[in-house]
Amino acid sequence: MSRPRIGLTLDVDDALVRYELKRVYVDAVLAAGGLPILLPFGDEQVAGAYLALCDGLVISGGVADVPPELYGEARRPRCGPAKPVRTQSEWAFCEAALAARIPVLGVCGGMQLLNVVRGGTLFQDLSDDLGLGCHEQPPPKDRPSHAIEVVPHTLLASLVGDQQLHVNSTHHQAVRTPGTGVLVSARAADGVVEAIELPDVPFALGVQWHPESASAHDDRHAAIYRGLVAAARDQRR
């Protein structure tokens, strides 16, 4: 059987002159048995056309924040820069994928967007909102630096096990209020949400860390991409 086609959303540099994506995302999809498809920006109509070519979707991470106006809050000083065109496109991809029941994996900022698409909210800055500043790890960014507790009997637990997992989180925002139908499936020791999922669709998972990088140190992270590709293969059938 041919490889399931996995769409990967792209970042863009500050001058809006080129698309960008870390190679490790592509490598993770290939290693899991998928065929990476890079997805340029587009509106709702374009997003649906692109997703018609895909069996699964990865909403990648990046340095921009989800605009707080999208979850009903005014921007505060510690909220980071936004990339509205990217966010608009990824929102369209995410909504279209969920409506079509196409498997979705949200990574880092992609997890936060997944929650906001479902009507959830975010902490705009963990330091300001909770007095926490320990979730932006120093280099090397690929090496897991802190532990999370995985909730048993969840999709995440079926992939990585329900024992403690060490992750490589680098973020200053996090899920505050889970959106409609959003299940929290992992937390850090300080209570920060590290993973979410949507039990009402076949496969929709968000992780606050970067499993595509951390898999070099623990193969359980690679199981997340293998799970996505397996779900995409089932979707194709």
Domain ranges of the chain: 5-236
Q: What's residue 40's pLDDT? A: 95
Return the CATH number of 5-236, one of 3.40.50.880, 3.40.50.10860, 2.70.70.10, 3.40.50.300: 3.40.50.880
Q: What's residue 200's pLDDT? A: 96
How does pLDDT run across 117-127, given as a tens digit for each residue?
999 999 999 98
Closest residue by Cα to residue 10 from 62, 45, 56, 49: 62
How does pLDDT run across 44-56, given as a tens digit for each residue?
889 999 999 999 9
d(CA 80, CA 156): 29
Choose the catalytic residue: 135, 172, 210, 221.
Answer: 210
d(CA 218, CA 145): 12
How does pLDDT run across 197-212, given as a tens digit for each residue?
999 999 999 999 999 9
Closest residue by Cα to residue 82 from 24, 23, 135, 11: 11
135 included as an active-site residue: no
Q: Predicted confidence band at 236 (pLDDT cuts at 50, 70, 90)?
A: confident
Choose the catalytic residue: 90, 194, 197, 212.
Answer: 212
Q: What's residue 15's pLDDT? A: 77
108 included as an active-site residue: yes
Average pLDDT over residues 3-30: 94
Query: DSSP readout, 36-103?
Result: EEEE----HHHHHHHHTT-SEEEE---SPPPPGGGGT----TTS----HHHHHHHHHHHHHHHHTT--
Choose the catalytic residue: 90, 108, 135, 172.
Answer: 108
79 included as an active-site residue: no
pTM beyond 0.85: yes
